[in-house]
A and B are shown apart, each in its own frame.
Chain A
Amino acid sequence: KQEVTQIPAALSVPEGENLVLNCSFTDSAIYNLQWFRQDPGKGLTSLLLIQSSQREQTSGRLNASLDKSSGRSTLYIAASQPGDSATYLCAVVPLGDNDMRFGAGTRLTVKP
């Protein structure tokens, strides 16, 4: 069964720093991987979707990479801002499966 792990569980950085969040998955047979942001008590906001045939996707200060063979994805946030503080979740859709498998998330705090 596909398992998704996110490290670290929590991260605190000063404003302006570049940072990397990690996501690993146990089975490389996936359709896609998606990164989400979740603010406290709220739903999930889609950030980036990487299809299995792609290596990376970029949106503004965010860049997500996918190395399917090693079962890893990273989310790079450039020039972090206090407004980036949230929990970041990654999810994969396994081949032959019906739903997304989520990691437990990384709780990011960006200090002014």
Chain B
Amino acid sequence: EADIYQTPRYLVIGTGKKITLECSQTMGHDKMYWYQQDPGMELHLIHYSYGVNSTEKGDLSSESTVSRIRTEHFPLTLESARPSHTSQYLCASSELGRGNTEAFFGQGTRLTVV
């Protein structure tokens, strides 16, 4: 059982609002990721982190920002939500090594911006 949690599970919010999607893991993993997934489509990496104070942008350009102040916590923030941000956001974590780095995912946050 993966110990990685995302809140909220579902969020409907108006255009222009600031939102923060929470992700926490209790496995002590250094590496954490945020993926964006539209219905029936592939996952696209938008942010990742190697550890505390490390944040990097992924392949898919995103207007969101992330922070990593604590190992277990990797929140994603949208300063001004727009309907184009409507999607599912998935958080994942893994150990820092390469060979046996099984990744674990949270249950996702389905965001709808109206």
Contact = CB atoms under 8 A, between A and B. Distances in A.
Contacts of B92: 44
Interface in A78-109: 89, 91, 93, 98-100, 102-105
B49 to A, nearest CB: 10
A98 B101 contact: no
B10 to A, nearest CB: 9
Given A32-B98, A99-B45, 16 more contacts: A31-B101, A42-B107, A43-B106, A43-B107, A43-B108, A44-B92, A46-B2, A46-B102, A46-B103, A51-B99, A89-B43, A98-B48, A99-B58, A100-B103, A102-B43, A105-B42
B43 to A, nearest CB: 5
A interface, size bucket: 20 to 34
Nearest to A49: B102
B89 to A, nearest CB: 10
Contacts of A63: none
A39 B103 CA distance: 17
26 contacts: A31-B99, A32-B98, A32-B99, A32-B101, A34-B102, A34-B103, A41-B88, A41-B108, A41-B110, A42-B107, A42-B108, A43-B6, A43-B90, A43-B107, A45-B105, A46-B2, A46-B102, A46-B103, A49-B102, A51-B100, A52-B99, A53-B99, A93-B101, A99-B59, A103-B42, A105-B42
B33 interface: yes
Contacts of B99: 31-32, 51-53
